[in-house]
Every structure is written in C-alpha cells, then in structure tokens.
Amino acid sequence: MPMTYPHAAIQDAEIPRAREQMMQHALDTYASETNRVYSVWTSFAAEHLDFRPHSKSSSVAEIMRHQLFSERRFFGEFLGAPEAPAADVMPREPTAEEFAQRLVVLARPRLAFLAEQPRQWWLTRVSFFDVERERVWVLWRRVLHTAHHRTQLTVYQRLLDSPVLATYGPTADVTWEGADPTHTVEAASRAGGME
C-alpha cells in the first residue's frame, strides 16, 4: 500500500501541465507540499491554535498566518505572480480548517500562473530581498520555507501528544505495509555506489 495523505486538497489531475515541460516537477512539488501543509494544518484542534512550546516561539496560528502572508509575498513580490491583495489573504474565521482552505484557494491560481511560464521566465534573475536569484531558485526557496514551517508544526503535534502525520515517509504514528524507512546500514546500502 503506498503512502497516502489524510487530505489531498489538490488532486494530481488538477495540476496544470507546464508549458516548459522540464518544470513540471516544480508544479507537482508545489501542489504536493500544499497538500502536506493542508493535511498537517487540518489535524490541529481549535484549542491548540494558541499553543507555543516556548514564550519565544510562534503559536500554531501565528505560523499559519506567516505561511499565508509569506507565500503571497514570495509569489507576488519576487516571482511577479498576480496575487490577492494582502488584506484579503487571511481567512474570515481563524480556525485550522479555514486557514487550510485559504492556503489551497490561494495556491490554485499560482499553479496556473507557473504553468504558463516559458523557460526564459524561470531562468531570469529577480530581486530576492537583498540579492538576485533566478526565479526557479526563488520557487525552490519557497518550497523549502514551506517545508520548514510544516515541520515546526509536526514538532508541535508531538509536543501536544497528537499523532504526527506521514509527510515523506512513515512516522511512529503512521505506517503502512511496504514502508521502508532508512534506519540501518543495510537499508542505506541498497543504493549501490562506492563500496
């Protein structure tokens, strides 16, 4: 049985085909990461939105707000995508489900925008804070930023003694037949390479 996520807000068939075929993996990855974040966010109970593991840490809801605002900034300011006004980014109700729904609503037009871009667009250098980077680099930085904050929240799940969802592979709470985590020399040796 392959790994599945509790929620796939963006189905594979809904991901647009990239004009630049070589960049299809970027659209697929952005949609996949959005689904992972959606699954993690919707697993939080209402009473956990104010949880923070330390007084200097962000709360669950603050991380969700940051994710929505920072994605808008990355896509709008750095990638030049048409975006909703910043004042319209947050959900009407600050619940985990509403934050997650807003994440998906904002992601769908970004996928359509990315799908239309030609090779040269992806390779063009743009301002990124105080440096210049290729747009493809900016998108991958966005994906990494998203993964960072999703991982923060999976740590929060563990601290709350809630089940930790599988995002790239099995966890102590979620596994399946055929799961093959790499915890041993034997498992790591399967790739071959220099022996």
pTM: 0.90
Confidence of residue 194 (pLDDT cuts 50, 70, 90): low
**pLDDT, position 7:** 67
The mean per-residue pLDDT over the stretch 135-148 comes to 96
**Alpha carbon distances (Å) from 112 to 51, 68, 106, 169:** 35, 18, 11, 28
The mean per-residue pLDDT over the stretch 76-103 comes to 96
Query: Structural domain boundaries of the chain?
Result: 12-191
CATH of 12-191, one of 3.40.50.200, 1.10.10.60, 1.20.120.450, 3.40.50.300: 1.20.120.450
* CA-based nearest residue to 23, from 11, 33, 15, 34: 15
Distance CA 122, CA 125 (A): 8
Comparing 34-38, 83-87, 143-147, 180-184, the range with the smallest average pLDDT is 180-184
Distance CA 164, CA 162 (A): 6
